Amino acid sequence: MILQGEIAAALLLGELTHACIDRRHGLDHGAWSVLVHLFPKHDVPVFQLSIDMSKPALEHYDLGKTLSTLRDQGIMIIGSGNVTHNLGDTKSDRDAPGVKWAQEFDNAFSDALIHDHKKLIDFDLPHFAHAHPSLEHYLPILPILGSQREGETIRTVYEGFQHGTLSMRCFKVG
């Protein structure tokens, strides 16, 4: 179910004046592949906000500050992607342990998640270009980080690797 009423209007009339509704498309793979597991009965309204690849990382982070007000209305904000996402370097074995460069990136990401968001915004992590040859699986992380409010914690709720190079780390803000 696509929620287009009050939330869309709030986004359009609020600080996201450049946003628009596009009813031609349903949920993309990044949203559907997560939501189908979280809500298998498809019984929650969904409003998908696309990432603008032409915008700098800091703008994606700042978007989270704007979106954080939706949490006051009981709205969950989910960003889907991968902490590491280099499909050209995956192992055929789904259960292969994390390779060295991916573990180093994931560990640095985990530390910056708690202590230094600037490193995440500036892509200042070891092996960043190898971990993310393109940014479509990384940028969705930034609005989620930006939604963190003063005094809120971020905690990892799942960590692990698939195919040796895909960090499946999941974290929760607040």
Q: Which residues fall within 8 angstroms of residue 98, CB to CB, at 6 or more apart?
A: 106, 161, 164, 165, 167
List, in sequence order, every residue forming a beta bridge with 158; answer none if it has no partner.
Answer: 170
Percent of the residues in the chain that have a pLDDT greater than 90, as a whole number? 61
pLDDT over 60 at 6, yes or no: no
CATH topology of domain 81-173: Protocatechuate 4,5-dioxygenase; Chain B (3.40.830)
What is the C-alpha to C-alpha distance for residues 70 and 61, in angstroms, rounded to an integer? 15
**What is the tens place of the pLDDT at every residue in 131-147?**
999 999 999 999 999 99
Quick: pLDDT tens for 40-58: 998 888 878 888 899 999 9
Q: What band does 30 get if pLDDT is binned at 50, 70 and 90?
A: confident
At 77-109, the pLDDT tens digits run: 888 888 999 999 999 999 999 999 999 999 999
Confidence band for 28, pLDDT divided at 50, 70 and 90: confident
Contact in structure between 115 and 161 (CB atoms under 8 Å): no
Q: Tokens 């803000």 sit at which residue?
A: 173
pLDDT above 80: residue 62: yes
- Mean pLDDT over each residue of the chain, to the nearest integer: 88
